[in-house]
Amino acid sequence: MVQERPATMLGAEYPALEKVPPAARVFGFWDQAALWFGAASLPAAWYYGALMAGWKGLPGAFLLIFLVNTLTLVPWALLGQIAARTGACSMAMVRPTFGLRGSALPSVFYLIFGFGWGAVNVFLGGIAMSYVLKGIFGWPAFLEPGYRAAMVPSLLLVCVLQGAVAVAGHRWIRWMEWLATLALVALGVFQTALVLRAWKAGSLFAWTPPAGGLTTSIGPFTYVLTFALLVDLLVAYNWTWQFIGDFSRFARTPAAGTWGPFIGANIAQYWWFSVGALGVAYLALTTGQYTPQTSDPSTTTTLLGFGWVAYVVILAATVATNAGNIYASALGISNLLQGRPVSLRLLLALSALGIVPLALLPLLAPQFVGLYIFWLDFLGAIVIPLWTITLVDYFLVKRQRYTDDLFRERGGLYWYRNGWNWPAVGSLLLGTAVYWVVAFGLPRVREGITATLPTVVIAALVYLLWQASQGQRARSRSNG
pLDDT tens readout for residues 140-171: 877 788 888 888 888 888 888 777 777 766 66
Average pLDDT rounded to a whole number, residues 289-314: 60
CA distance 295 to 124: 12
Q: Is residue 333 in a domain?
A: yes
Q: Is residue 73 in a domain?
A: yes
Q: Is residue 212 in a domain?
A: yes
Contact (Cβ atoms closer than 8 angstroms) between residue 425 and residue 463:
no
- Answer yes or no: is pLDDT of 8 > 50: no
Domain range holding 43?
Answer: 22-366
Q: How many CB atoms lie within 10 A of CB 478?
A: 7
pLDDT of residue 2: 41
Q: Is residue 97 in a domain?
A: yes
pLDDT, tens only, 446-461: 999 999 999 999 999 9
Average pLDDT rounded to a whole number, residues 393-418: 94
Q: Is residue 438 in a domain?
A: no
Q: What is the CATH number of the domain that holds 119?
A: 1.10.4160.10
From the list 339, 353, 6, 330, the residue with the least C-alpha distance to 170 is: 330
pLDDT of residue 13: 73
Q: How many domains does one find in the chain? A: 1
- Answer yes or no: is pLDDT of 107 > 50: yes
> Predicted confidence band at 19 (pLDDT cuts at 50, 70, 90)?
very high
- Answer yes or no: is pLDDT of 410 > 80: yes
The SS3 of residue 92 is coil
Average pLDDT rounded to a whole number, residues 66-73: 97
pLDDT of residue 445: 93
Q: Is residue 409 in a domain?
A: no
From the list 436, 430, 332, 277, the residue with the least C-alpha distance to 116 is: 332
Q: Is residue 470 in a domain?
A: no
Q: Is residue 394 in a domain?
A: no
